[in-house]
Amino acid sequence: MIEVKKLQRADHTEIQVKGEVDASSSIELDNALQSSLDESKKIIVDLENLEYISSAGLGVFISYLEEIKSKEIKLVLCNMKPKVYDVFKILGLENLMEIVNTKEEAEQALNEA
Amino acid sequence: MKRELTISCSKTNLLRIRQFVKDVLGDLDIHELEAHKMVLAVDEVCANLIIHSNQCDPSHQIDISIDHPDKEKIIFIIKDQGITFNYNSYVEPDLTDIVSSKRKGGVGLMLVKRIMDKVEFSHDKNCNICRLTKKIDS
């Protein structure tokens, strides 16, 4: 249903999320994101294989926005399918989070000031 | 055309609920992006009922029906017998407050209200009834 992988890249952490994030599975995303925030200042979340996200998954991202800001962590989401991006847009989260189209753009964004 | 699903109150059943709604909307030829949002709205209501109204008790059940009475709308009715949700006292939270409080919850019903054209909660005997109406372009 959900598969979350955490990969250590040369200068950042990459989280890959596959499947569907809902109230029964959001804990796995939460664990991966929490541990990445403890370890890294630069994080890419690759959502290429994410088919579905509900409020439980959005809530995970929302709950760390303050920490990201206070610890000056760069977190970039990329590769969202249009149907997934639509869900972020319903709440206007694209204005609160950095969301780009491709992983290349995400890597560039990490290195911007 | 009316399609129904009765399922026990377990979070792992949310996947089956979504598949049911997706299948019905697929049969109705609803555009994928629109269907995806309706699936999300039903999932949000069911997740709330399963977790908050029925404490994930698998001996409890929820009933979901989808009706397409005419070309212009789809009606989703979700019934349960758990703790009644008082929609009249619901005040939509401010997203900035949720962000600053670092809460993980609180946006489910916001999504439902923004996706659906009409959201109604009522109570009949021992039954809680949530009725969601979505207008569709014919």
End-to-end CA distance of chain B: 16
A28 touches chain B (CB under 8 A): no
- Collect all residues of chain B within an 8 Å Cβ-Cβ radius of residue A29: none
**pLDDT attached to residue A112:** 85
DSSP state of B85: P
Largest CA distance in chain B: 45
pLDDT above 70 coverage of chain B, percent: 99
Task: For each of the domains in chain B, give its residue range(s) and CATH number, in order of start.
Answer: 2-135 (3.30.565.10)
d(CA A46, CA A32): 13
Contact at CB, A66 and B100, closer than 8 angstroms = yes
Residue A1 has pLDDT above 90, yes or no: no
Answer whether residue B6 shows pLDDT above 90: yes
Q: Is the pLDDT of residue B1 over 90?
A: no
Question: Quick one: closest CA in B to A82, which residue?
Answer: B33
Measured CB to CB, residues of chain B less than 8 Å from chain A are 11-12, 14-15, 18, 32-33, 36-37, 39-40, 43-44, 47, 50-51, 95, 98-100, 102-108, 110-111, 114-115
Q: Is the pLDDT score of B138 beyond 80? A: no
Element (DSSP H or E) covering residue A98: strand A98-100
- Mean pLDDT, residues B62-91 taken together: 95
| A97, HSE (Cβ side, Cα atoms, 13 Å) | 27
**Interchain pair A66, B18: CB under 8 A:** no
Contact: A65, B99; criterion CB under 8 Å: yes
Angstroms from A70 CA to nearest CA on chain B: 11
Closest CA–CA distance from residue B99 to any residue of chain A (Å)? 6
**Inter-residue contact B121 to B87 (CB < 8 Å):** yes
Closest CA to B85 of B50, B118, B61: B50
pLDDT digits (tens, 9 = 90+) for A26-40: 999 999 999 999 999
Provide the percentage of residues in chain B whose pLDDT is more than 90. Answer: 93
Please give the interface size between A and B, counted as residue pairs whose CB atoms are below 8 Å apart: 87
Write down the mean pLDDT value for chain B: 95
Contacts with B111 from chain A: Cβ below 8 Å? 54-55, 87, 90-91
Residue B106: both structure tokens together: 């609180």
Q: Does B37 sit within 8 Å of A90, measured CB to CB?
A: yes
Instruction: Catalogue all structural domains in chain A, each as residue range(s) with its CATH number.
Output: 2-110 (3.30.750.24)
Predicted confidence (pLDDT) per residue in A38-97, tens digit:
999 999 999 999 999 999 999 999 999 999 999 999 999 999 999 999 999 999 999 999
Q: Using DSSP, how many helices (H) and how many strands (E) does chain A show?
A: 5, 5
Residue B53: count of CB within 10 angstroms of its CB: 18
What's this model's pTM, rounded to 2 decimal places?
0.96
| Contact assessment for residue A38 and residue A73, using Cβ atoms and an 8 Å cutoff | no
ipTM: 0.94
Separation of alpha carbons A105 and B24, rounded Å: 38
pLDDT band at B137 (very low <50, low <70, confident <90, very high): confident
Q: Is A20 on the interface with B (CB under 8 A)?
A: yes
